[in-house]
Structure formats: C-alpha cells, structure tokens
Amino acid sequence: MSEGQNTTIKVVLVTDTDEMLDALDANLRNVDDIDVVGRASDQAEALTQFRAYDPDVIVIDYDMAAVDGAELTREILHEDERVQIIMLSVVNDANDIRTAMRAGAREYLIKPLGRGELSGTIHWLIHERRAYARMQNYMRKLRKAYEALFRDDTEVPPKVVAFLERQADDSPDDTLTLETLAVAYARNREWEKLAPLAERLREMTRAEREF
C-alpha cells in the first residue's frame, strides 16, 4: 500500500452473491482512479485477496451468512491498520453499526447504494488517510529538526533551517514550529532573522493571554 506517486486506489470486494458483486462493480467500473483488484466470497478468500493485492480499501458485505464481517475486519486491521474498511448492509441497525465500527470499519453504508455513493466514500477515506500520512511525515521531520538543535553546540545545518522556514511559511500560527525556528536562528547567530521572529512570538503570546 503506497502513499507516493501511484494514485490508483486498489479495492477488494467481499460479498457472496453475484448480484451484489455486479452492483458493486457497476458502482466503481467507470471511476478512473479506482481499480477493483480482487473479489472474495468468504472469509478465507478475503484474507487471501488482502494479502495478495495489498489493497487500500476493502468493501465487505455485512449481510453474508457465512462471514463475520466484524471478525474479518479485526483480522485485516491486525495485519495492516492502514486499510480502510467499508461495511455494506441492508439493515440500518444501531447495534450492527456499533459492532462494525468498534471492529475498525471506517464507514457503514446502507444498501441499496446511491449513485456514486461508494466511490465518493472511498475517495473521502483515502484523502483523509493521505492527509494523515502527510501530517505524520511532517511531525517526524519537525521532531528530528527539534532534536538536532540540542544535540551539540554546532550550527544548525542549512537544510534543517530551510525546512523549518518552509514549515513556518505554511503554518504561520504554529507556535512549536516558530519556536524551533527561533532556536535555530539563535544557534546560528542569525540575529537579523531572529529579532522579527521573536517579536512575532511575543505578539502571539500576548494575543493568547488576552483571548
């Protein structure tokens, strides 16, 4: 499962009826960035398809008699918590929904599905996951930059300073980023850059107190 250049969303469908499979295929067939890479009709086959194709999304028909959708969800997420699970059911039952969501399903849709409902849900979940991945990557880089400031007394590398400056431009109200950048300027004795930044931080602190 990649978050990089490949923007095609890989989907596995899990349902035990040809009618339902045809309906799901029709819902996704003409969506350019969604590729149905696998189909399964029971729990064992679903796990095999999941392990073989590394899908981004698995759509599970919660109404299958021979498959425990909640248990299947737990098994899948135990192996890869990044997979987005969508449950489908004809029953709009609060207990079923609660069970599915507690197992780790990200969405629970009621059949019959509206036109574009499944593809729209898939796009929303993947957009959310990619945004979360970007945030995690940013926090890892910021943490490394922050740790580098206190490792020794040497100057902060230009690449680290440039990264912090970009983050400060992108997130002008992020106090942690600005404070980290201020420490970097101080370590590098870049007083002409530090002075306005320090004043900006003082103004932010004053505004927070007044608020």
Say how many domains are in the chain.
Answer: 2
Q: Which residue has the higher pLDDT, 51 or 147?
A: 51
Whether residues 89 and 183 share a domain: the answer is no
Whether residues 122 and 158 share a domain: the answer is no
User: 194: domain range?
Assistant: 152-210
Dist CA 152 CA 124 (whole Å): 44
| CATH classification at residue 58 | 3.40.50.2300
Whether residues 48 and 80 share a domain: the answer is yes
pTM above 0.85, yes or no: no
Residues in CB range of 180: below 8 A, 6 or more apart: 142, 145, 146, 149, 164
In a domain, 175, yes or no: yes
Query: What is the predicted pLDDT for the residue at 104?
Result: 94
Whether residues 24 and 96 share a domain: the answer is yes
Which of 40-44, 146-150, 179-183, 188-192 shows the lowest per-residue confidence on average (mean pLDDT)? 146-150
In a domain, 145, yes or no: no
Whether residues 119 and 15 share a domain: the answer is yes
- Model confidence over 71-127: pLDDT tens digits? 999 999 999 999 999 999 998 989 999 999 999 999 999 998 888 999 999 999 998
